[in-house]
Amino acid sequence: MCAGRGGMGTLATEGYVRLLDARTDAHADQEYLDYVVFNDAGVPDRTAFILKRSDEDPVPAILDDIDKATAIGASFLVLACNTEHYFFDRFQERTSVPILHMPRLAVREMSQRFPAHSHPRVGFMGTEGSRAAGVYRREVEAAGYVFVEPDDALQHRVDSLIYDDVKGGRPLDPQRYRAVIEAFLAEPYDCDIVLLGCTELSVFNERFPMPELPLVDAQSVLVDETVRRAKALLAD
């Protein structure tokens, strides 16, 4: 059994669960995976805390969910939020249950699909908190890539997709989404790959897939690894 931490935001968590069920390739109720989802929507905003715009610490609420998931006997844990990986070491120290690390999994997948020697420049789309915290920078640079951050103007466009569209409930516009991606691929960024490092952006990617573009969706990678691990447990 796996346990997933969600509610950050809820629509992104729904997307994770929906993909998880679809990729399980089940043909009867009994063939789906056993999992528990903690949709803890009351967790304080991670970005606001990381950027010191709020003194509401999100960690205690998340640790409480980790304690509950550990108590019910989860075989591994999933954090369905990229930004909260800033606190990953504190979470893993709390439990003996392994926690999947979404940024590391995403970079591993990126290395297989788009090797650094031929696709060196990686544009990062994620929250301002993830950008400031270096959640992805460390993993991307350790894998031999050039990590390309948006300037403040482009970051504002990314944030608008995350907070105004997905979290805020505004109708999703595929052209707005595509325009931001193409900004990373064009001058002055000249990225070879765009890494979707926010699960709200994964909502866009699920709704409007663009396989012709060099995208890596961290949540999609996490779903695949969840299915692989869960099925391996069933086979033991």
Res 85: pLDDT: 93
In this prediction, residue 8 carries a pLDDT of: 57
Sequence-ordered list of residues with C-beta below 8 angstroms from that of 56, at least 6 positions apart, any chain? 44, 45, 48, 49
Give pLDDT, residue 39: 87
Average pLDDT over residues 52-76: 94
pLDDT at 83: 87
7-21, 49-63, 193-207: least confidently modelled range: 7-21
> What is the pLDDT confidence band of residue 3, given thresholds at 50, 70 and 90?
low
- Give residue 1's pLDDT: 59
pLDDT greater at residue 136 or residue 236: 136
Q: Which residues contact 136 (CB under 8 A, 6 or more apart)?
A: 82, 103, 106, 107, 124, 126, 130, 147, 195, 197
pLDDT in tens, 186-214: 999 999 999 999 989 999 999 999 999 99
Residue 5 has pLDDT above 80, yes or no: no
Mean residue pLDDT of the chain comes to 92
Give how far Cα 28 sits from Cα of 5, 21, 88, 95, 228, Å: 26, 12, 36, 33, 19
Q: CA 155 to CA 95: how far, in whole Å?
A: 34
Instruction: Tell me the C-alpha distance between 47 and 56, whole Å.
Output: 11
CA distance 225 to 95: 20
The set of catalytic residues is 81, 198
CA distance 40 to 26: 27
Residue 221 pLDDT level (bands cut at 50, 70, 90): very high
The one-letter amino acid at 177: Y
pLDDT class of 228 with cuts at 50, 70, 90: very high
Query: What is the pLDDT averaged over residues 106-122?
Result: 98
17 class by beta-carbon count within 10 Å (0-12 exposed, 13-18 middle, 19+ buried): middle
User: What is residue 13's predicted lDDT score, i.e. its pLDDT?
Assistant: 83
Rounded Cα–Cα distance for residues 181 and 209 (Å): 12
Answer yes or no: is pLDDT of 90 > 80.
Answer: yes
Please give the average per-residue pLDDT across 44-63, as a whole number: 91
Q: What average pLDDT does range 130-140 have in this prediction? A: 91
